Amino acid sequence: MHKIRDGDLYRVVELFGRRFELRYGYYEEYERHSGEPVPIYPDFKKSPVYSEDGRPFVTQMQELCAHGESKFTDGCCVDCKHYSHGDDLIGICTNEKNMKGN
Ligand code: SF4
């Protein structure tokens, strides 16, 4: 069986005019010593990316933002009523308050 290596392509997600190449890797340096590489998702909080109509991309596991609305206080974007499913764990935030330029 093919062993997964750091940097191998996991998959390509194309959504709303943007293309995300997801590769295997490690979120933390110490994880290199303890396990297999995992698919690395973009950190949209650190480096925002917007759809062509100005809506921010988010990952399902992204922490609830200041404008998030969820029944869980420690929820994630996937629990928020403004989350719109895209492909894999990447979606779009439909909250007008988070649109580009707001
Ligand atoms: S408003 Fe958007 S960015 Fe904020 S938690 Fe909800 S889906 Fe995520």
How would residue 61 be classed by pLDDT, with cut points 50, 70 and 90? very high
pLDDT at 9 over 90: yes
2: Cβ contacts below 8 Å, ≥ 6 apart: none
| Distance from residue 52's CA to the centre of ligand 1 (Å) | 18
Every domain of the chain and the residues it spans: 9-98
pLDDT at 39 over 90: yes
When pLDDT is averaged across residues 65-76 and rounded to a whole number, the result is 94
When pLDDT is averaged across residues 57-84 and rounded to a whole number, the result is 96
Q: Is the CB of 13 under 6 A from ligand 1?
A: no
pLDDT at 95: 98
When pLDDT is averaged across residues 41-63 and rounded to a whole number, the result is 97
* Rounded-to-integer distance, Cα 43 and Cα 40, Å: 9
| Distance from residue 24's CA to the centre of ligand 1 (Å) | 26
DSSP letter string over 27-48?
SSGGGGGTS--EEEPP-TTTS-
pLDDT at 67: 96
Classify 54 in phi/psi space as left (phi over 0), alpha (psi -120 to 50) or beta. Answer: left
How would residue 1 be classed by pLDDT, with cut points 50, 70 and 90? low
As given in the structure block, the two tokens for residue 36 are 């297999």
pLDDT at 12 over 90: yes
Q: Where in 9-99 does DSSP place strands (E)? A: 9-15, 18-25, 38-40, 57-59, 83-87, 90-93
Q: Is the CB of 57 under 6 A from ligand 1?
A: no
46: Cβ contacts below 8 Å, ≥ 6 apart: none
